[in-house]
Structure 1
Amino acid sequence: MSRVLLTGFEPFQQDTYNPSWAAAQLVQEKPPSGLEVTAVRLPCTFTKSIPALREAVLDTDPDLVVCLGLSPRRGISIERVAINVDDSPGLDNDGRQPVDEPIVPDGPAAYFSTLPIKRCAAAVQQAGIFAEISLSAGTFVCNHVFYGLMHLLETEAKQRRGGFIHVPHTPEMPAVSAYGVASMPVDTTAEGLRIVLATAAAHDSDIKVPWGATS
């Protein structure tokens, strides 16, 4: 049985709920066949998130690591590349706002996901759930964790694969009614994530198809 580490974030700022963590818990409760999923909640801070992720990787010894974050996008948004910069648009949960700081000094400018991202997105779409490929995880804590994960896998855990996925708001969250951001029921999000994990666990290689990215 393959072991999967699935992380989500704690609530951020005024929110009391984070769908990334809620969805991760649902997948842990009902994992895809043949997978053992451990869900871990990360702090939404620049200082604490990567150490917490590293500890979780070492504790669970997973074959596959997928980190989740919240974004005002339509559905399952699978990230392609993490960049080595923190350029925060606002304060994290510790009140920090790094600007133009490297995540890993002297580290590579970027890392690519080692998930079969197009294959995963296609599988989710075939199930009737919206999925997309994204070329930017931003420069807030989500990208920070994504880059930290890929650097960890490159330098300390080469036998493992991993990547990052943004999930949407849920319909009841304040931002949906206040700002009109897209939403998806968390049960649907969790089902899309199960498809991603099952697909990634079963396939090392990606499919070679054109896929225009919007973000």
Structure 2
Amino acid sequence: MKTILLTGFEPFGGESINPSWEVARALDGEQIGDARVVARCLPCVFGAALSSLKQSLREHPPALVLALGQAGGRSDLSLERVAINIDDARIADNAGRQPIDEPVVEGAAAAYFSTLPIKAMMAGLREAGFPAGISQTAGTFVCNHVFYGLQHFLRGGPVRSGFMHIPLLPEQAAHLPGQASMALKTMVDGVRLALALAMRVDVDVRQSGGSIS
């Protein structure tokens, strides 16, 4: 059976929970089409996250990889289009590191695009009633760090991969007036559908869409 590698992050920034890992572990072991989901939790630490990711890729050779990350302020399932070769941290990671204007991979490409059929995934999610969109920036914190590292590791190969940002959970947003959130079940169901779409769509659709957020 094929493997879908699905990653999330440990909590960071003083939080006690991270929805990206809650979603990933909820789907761990599920069969989607002819593939089984293997979920792994990455440390929210520059460098260490890529080491953990690389180990997971070696131990569970995937047919497809989707990395998930938390994005406060977003209200939809945000499929990221591009990862950039820069670490520029507004806050320290969980090891106290705060790189400023440093490359993710020295001497490598300036950017990599997602190799997932992100437009088809967005269209399928919206058709099923899930709020979804295309994002043109994964930021410059550990999420982008992992997204860039993932695309760099798999460049030129047959394995398709990419990154999705998801909103906060309601319990996280409860103490943040006006902050968007999404129920865990909704995110789990949405990511499950996104993976199914990614596995069965060979050629992405052409349609306009996306935002700067």
Band the TM-score falls in, shorter-chain normalisation? over 0.9
Counterpart of 1:87? 88
**Structure 2: where are the runs of 5+ without partners?**
none
- Tell me, in whole angstroms, the C-alpha distance in 1 between the residues paired with 2:89 and 2:174: 23
How far residue 29 of structure 1 moved from its aligned partner, in angstroms, is 4.7
Determine whether 1:166 maps to 2:162: no
Determine whether 1:51 maps to 2:45: no
**Structure 1: where are the runs of 5+ without partners?**
none
Q: Which residue of the other structure, out of 172, 179, 182, is the alignment partner of 1:181? A: 179
Is the CA contact 1:62–1:160 (under 8 Å) kept in the aligned structure 2? yes
Residues 113-140 of structure 1: CA deviation (Å, up to 9, x unaligned): 0000010011111111100100000000
Counterpart of 2:113? 112
Q: Percent identity?
A: 47
- Tell me, in whole angstroms, the C-alpha distance in 1 between the residues paired with 2:175 and 2:35: 36
Is the CA contact 1:31–1:194 (under 8 Å) kept in the aligned structure 2? no
How far residue 32 of structure 1 moved from its aligned partner, in angstroms, is 2.7
How far residue 13 of structure 1 moved from its aligned partner, in angstroms, is 2.7
Aligned CA-pair RMSD: 1.2
How far residue 47 of structure 1 moved from its aligned partner, in angstroms, is 2.1
Counterpart of 2:25? 25
Counterpart of 2:76? 75
Residues 66-109 of structure 1: CA deviation (Å, up to 9, x unaligned): 10000021021000000000000010000000000011111000
Counterpart of 2:140? 139
Is the CA contact 2:136–2:210 (under 8 Å) kept in the aligned structure 1? no
Residues 45-83 of structure 1: CA deviation (Å, up to 9, x unaligned): 002000100000010001001100000210210000000
How far residue 181 of structure 1 moved from its aligned partner, in angstroms, is 1.6
Q: Report SS of the residue matched to 1:50.
A: helix
Counterpart of 2:12? 12
- Tell me, in whole angstroms, the C-alpha distance in 1 between the residues paired with 2:183 and 2:7: 19
TM superposition score normalised by structure 1: 0.95
Residues 158-185 of structure 1: CA deviation (Å, up to 9, x unaligned): 1211000001111111x44324221001
- Tell me, in whole angstroms, the C-alpha distance in 2 between the residues paired with 1:147 and 1:212: 19
